[in-house]
Structure 1
Amino acid sequence: MRILIVTHVVRKNDGQGRVNYEIVLAALAAGHSVTLLAAGAAPELVQHPRVCFVPIGESRLPGKLAQYQMFAWRCGAWIRSHRQEFDVIHVNGFIAWARADINAAHFVHDGWYHCGFYPFRLLRSFYDAYQVIYTLLNIGCEKWAFRHAEVIVPVSHTVAAEVRALGIAPAQLQVIHNGVDVDEFAPGTPERTRFGLPSAPFMLLFAGDLRMSRKNLDTVLHALVHTSANVHLAVAGILHNSPYPALAASLGLTERVHFTDMVMDMPALMRSVDAFVFPSRYEPMGLVLLEALAAGLPVITVRTAGGAEVISPRSGIVLDDPNDAVALAAAIERLASDPEYAHRLGQAAREVAGTLSWQAMAERYLSLYEQVHARRTAQSLPAGCATASVEL
């Protein structure tokens, strides 16, 4: 097949970019050719003889609103000029003013806007007004993009529900969960000293953007107050402009909360802790959650975190209310006080991750490509040709 993938970047160290990176690798391994319409792509892909990289330069217009619209206009114009050269056109959300065969929905702005935890208000400040306008414009653009795609691929059932809320027919949706590197993220020898963590306590890990309230570190800290002193928390994320070190100090948790700042070697950090806590107030599909499962960590999360849907009581603890610090504390204590139970959850978590490898994810996308291509080919044949070919 001749495949066109349209996105901003295709590389390993980017969430959506990694998804597309793995799809490209699988497509090349299967003998297909791939064209990448993007602002950037990994050098090892660009150098491949069956990859054509068409760079779309970043606009110099001020603000993301104008820049994204210019990017989408340029991509749309290129697709319309080259559409007949491809068997499958795969876009990601609103990325181009053009029709597509497949649209992968990684994030739905309408879901974020109506989730109940949207932090911005139109009349509060200029910054808030800009963010609201930016979100509303994206809602409109995403509706257009989804309505101009044959198949929409939400990355979780949480995202699928948000897409359906836009009026998209369920028959158009096919959920494909994001993947995880089950070899890179795997149980192994702890390295607590390397990360400045004490060796004795039961160590939880929280990882995420420490400047965003939706990640919900505040509830984790309030829950920690209600747990035994043997329970500590490692917090991985950029500390600049984060309010959480001050909150931890005000709660008397300075000795029990260990801020590591940005960690580049997350697999090693995950091998160094006992459990992962992820009560995000809103999450389409958290890659870090899948990484924790692959690392064999017992996971405590909440239903508002996309990805929680893959966790059963056998492989983790899923709470109903992301703001219930008491319930979160009880779940933490259960893990900390029962090492055998925590170990069983971790083993089952690793098994779940095995079904969500990058290879498994990429193969699901390729299978969908083949279905779409076969359907388009059948539709283009004269009447009776498809039947004749089957009879042969």
Structure 2
Amino acid sequence: MRILIVTHVVRKNDGQGRVNYEIVQAALAAGHSVTLLAAEAAPELVAHPRVRFVQIARSRLPSRLVQYQMFAWRCGAWIRAHRGEFDIVHVNGFIAWARADVNAAHFVHDGWYRCGFYPFRLLRSFYHAYQVIYTLLNIGCEKWAFRHAEVIVPVSQKVASEVGALGIGAKRMEVIHNGVDVGEFTPGAPERARFGLPQAPFMLLFAGDLRMSRKNLDTVLHALVHTPANVHLAVAGILHNSPYPALVQALGLSDRVHFTDMVMDMPALMRSVDAFVFPSRYEPMGLVLLEALSAGLPVITVRTAGGAEVITSGSGIVLDDPNDASALAAAVVRLASDPDYARCLGETARRVAATLSWQAMAERYLNVYEQVHARRHARELPAGCATASVKP
């Protein structure tokens, strides 16, 4: 097949970019040719003889809202001019003013807007007004994009329900969970000293954007107050402009919370802790959650976090309310006080992750491509040919 993938970035160290990177690798291994319509692509992909990289320059106009629209217009114009060259056009959400065969839904702005934890208010400030307008515009654009795609691929059942709320029928959707590198994220010997972590305590790990309230570190910190003193927390994320160091000090947790700032070797950090806590107030499908499962960590998460749907009762603890610090504290205490229970959860988590490898994910996308291509081929056959072809 001749495949066109339209996205902003295709590279290994980016969430959505990694998904597309792995799809490209699998497509090339299967003998397909791939064109990347993007702002940036990994050099090793661009160098491949069956990869064509068409770079769409990022706009220098002010505001992300205008920049994304300019990118979408440029991509749409290119697709319309070259549509006949491809068997499959794969886009990611709203990224181009053009029809597509496959649309991978990684994030649905309508779901974020209506989840109950959306933090912006139109009349609060200019910044809030801009964020609301940006969100509402994206809602309209995503509706258009989903309605102009043959198949929508939500990255979780949570995202599928949000796509469905936009009026898209379930028959047009195929859920494919994001993947994880099960060879990179593995259990192993801890390296706490490398990250400045104390050796003795039961160590939780929180990883995420420390500038976003939806990641919910505040509830983790309030829960930590109600756990024994031998329970500590490692926090991985960029500290610049983060309010959480001040909150840690106000709560009297300075000796028990260890900020590592940005960590480049997340597999090593995960091998150095005892459990992973991920109570995100809103998350479509967190890659870091899958990475923790693959590392063999018992996971505490919440139903509002995409990815919680893959966790069984034997591989983690899923709480109902992301803001319930007491329930979160109780879950932490249970893990910290029962090593056998925590170990069993971690072993099962590793087995769950084995079913969610990048290779398995990419093969599911290729299966969708083949089904779409076969349906189109059948539609394009002259009348009677399809029937004649099955006669003995």
TM-score, normalisation: structure 1: 0.99
Match of residue 265 from structure 2 = 265
> CA offsets per residue over residues 339-363 of structure 1, 9 Å max, x none?
0000000000000000000000000
Pairing of 1:119-158 with structure 2 (within 5 A)? 119-158=119-158
Q: Distance in 2 between matches of 1:385 and 1:186?
A: 52
Provide the residue aligned with 1:80 in structure 2: 80
1:288-347 deviations in Å (ceiling 9; x for gaps): 000000000000000000000000111100000000000000000000000000000000
Equivalent residue of 1:232, what SS?
A: strand
Measured in 1, the distance between the counterparts of 2:267 and 2:285 equals: 19
Instruction: Determine the structure 1 residue equivalent to 2:53.
Output: 53
Cα distance in 2 between the residues matched to 1:386 and 1:342 = 57
Deviation at 1:252, TM superposition (A): 0.9
For 1:23 and 1:97, locate their aligned partners in 2 and report how far apart those are by CA, in whole Å.
Answer: 22
Provide the secondary structure at the position in 2 that maps to 1:252.
Answer: coil
Distance 1:195 1:65 in 2: 38
Corresponding letter in the other structure for 1:180: V
1:106-150 Cα distance to aligned partner (Å, 9 max, x none): 000000011111111111111111111100000000000000000
Q: Which runs of 5+ in 1 are unaligned?
A: none
The 2-side partners of 1:18 and 1:90 are apart by 15
Other-structure match for 2:190: 190
Q: What is the aligned partner in structure 1 of residue 174 from structure 2? A: 174
Give 1:272-351 correspondences, 5 Å limit. 272-351=272-351
2:141 aligned with 1:111? no
1:249: Cα distance to partner? Answer: 1.0
The answer to whether structure 1 residue 20 and structure 2 residue 16 are counterparts is: no
- What letter corresponds to residue 143 of structure 2 in structure 1? K
SS of the aligned residue for 2:190 comes to: coil
Runs of 4+ deviating beyond 6 Å:
none
**Cα separation, 1, equivalents of 2:179 and 2:312:** 18
What RMSD over aligned residues (CA atoms) do the two structures have, in Å? 0.6
Instruction: Tell whether 2:29 aligns with 1:29.
Output: yes
Whole-Å Cα distance in 2 between the matches of residues 18 and 324 of structure 1?
Answer: 33
CA–CA distance in 2 between the matches of 1:40 and 1:138? 22
Find the counterpart in structure 2 of residue 91 from structure 1: 91
Aligned-pair identity (%): 85
Which residue identity does 2:256 align to in structure 1? R
**Greater mean alpha carbon deviation, residues 150-159 or residues 56-65:** 56-65
Q: Which residue pairs with 1:201 in the alignment? A: 201
1:78 partner letter: W
Q: How does 1:239-254 map to 2 (within 5 A)?
A: 239-254=239-254
Give 1:145's aligned amino acid. Answer: A
Which letter does structure 1 place at the counterpart of 2:292? Answer: A
Aligned length: 392
Pairwise CA distance, 1:18: 0.3
Tell me the amino acid that sits aligned with residue 47 of structure 1: A
User: Matched residues in 1 for 2:80 and 2:293: separation?
Assistant: 42
- How far residue 390 of structure 1 moved from its aligned partner, in angstroms, is 2.8
Correspondence list, 1:340-379, <5 A: 340-379=340-379
* AA partner of residue 305 (structure 2): A
What's the TM-score once normalised by structure 2's chain length?
Answer: 0.99
Counterparts of 2:359 and 2:190, CA distance in 1: 27
Task: Report the Cα distance in structure 1 between the residues aligned to 2:372 and 2:391, rounded to whole angstroms.
Answer: 22
Q: What 5-or-longer segments of structure 2 have no aligned partner?
A: none
What's 1:217 paired with? 217
